[in-house]
Amino acid sequence: MEEVLKANKRQKEFYNSTREAKKSLPTKLWFSLRNKFLDPFRRTFDIKSRVYEQHKIWLGDLSDKKILDLGCLRGNALSLYMAKNAKEYIGIDLSDRAIEDLNKKLRKADCHRAKALAVDFLSTDFEEKDFDIIYAYGVLHHFENLEILIERIKQKLKIGGTVISYDPLDTSAPVKILRKLYRPFQSDKDWEWPFTKRTMKEFEGHFKIEEVRGILGKSKYGLLINLLPLKASYKEKTIKKLIEDDWYAQDPEQVYHCMQVTMLFRNT
């Protein structure tokens, strides 16, 4: 635990700083390529908004729910929605600067039953518990030690409570190769641990997995399809079909071909 908390302190310093200055050149290039190609692709085909809409469905009626927005940073697209509609909302993040910004947003939106705290989820300083929902958007893969993470989630979540997660996967062969080549130069590698098959099995062993959605499996090849000299209508139809195939995959193994996964799981 001591080593984990030390790594989290380094992570805190990274996110409290001007992150661009902390990034290595390979990391800057990686982000530049992602912003140039992948992010526009996700926006064009509403992949990101699809995830948020599914999360809204999974959240359900929040009027009697106590929610933890874990690793919220400055708040994502659903943070204020949760803060306004939940019985009680607590957002936590390592970054003091990010939490200060989120608290300003909460005050401006008159979210009287909401607060944001700069605290480590694993630290004894974080004493809140009995959450109905833990919302973890792009967060759980920052924990290298799954045993400690799972134990902490179970301590903080009510029996019958749910976790909504969204994380990158390290299970697709081409993505796995790219990540392996990039990792030695990655600025934030100490707290970046994309889900492996083992990760998924660990969660399955400790929680009831109720729903799983894969993102950018077959559809990641849509980036290449877009470059082909084909009719725009044909390319759009083909890519949309691939996105649907990923999202509604019947074979659990198909999720492992995806770049990201979002899950709803329950503490039993």
Report pLDDT for 179.
85
Strand ordering across the sheet containing 114-118? 114-118, 88-93, 66-70, 131-137, 157-168, 260-266, 208-215
Residue (of 212, 218, 139, 141) closest to 172 by Cα position = 218
Give how far Cα 85 sits from Cα of 54, 57, 113, 116, 214, Å: 17, 14, 9, 15, 28
Q: What is the mean pLDDT of each run of 10 residues along the chain (268 residues)?
A: 83 75 69 78 93 98 98 96 98 96 96 96 96 98 95 98 97 88 83 94 96 96 93 96 93 91 97
Residue 158 neighbours by CB under 8 Å, 6+ apart: 130, 131, 132, 267
Residue that has been written with the tokens 């526009």 in this structure: 40
On whether the CB atoms of residues 59 and 83 are closer than 8 A, the answer is no
**What pLDDT was estimated at residue 187?**
81
Alpha-carbon distance of 80 to 207, in angstroms, equals 27
Q: Tell me what pLDDT residue 47 has.
A: 95
> What is the total residue count of the chain?
268
pLDDT at position 208: 97
Give the per-residue pLDDT at 28: 75
Residue 169 to residue 162: CA distance in whole angstroms: 21
Q: Which residues contact 19 (CB under 8 A, 6 or more apart)?
A: none
3-state helix, strand, coil in the chain (%, to 5): 55, 20, 30
| pTM assigned to the model | 0.92
Closest C-alpha among 66, 55, 56 to residue 114? 66
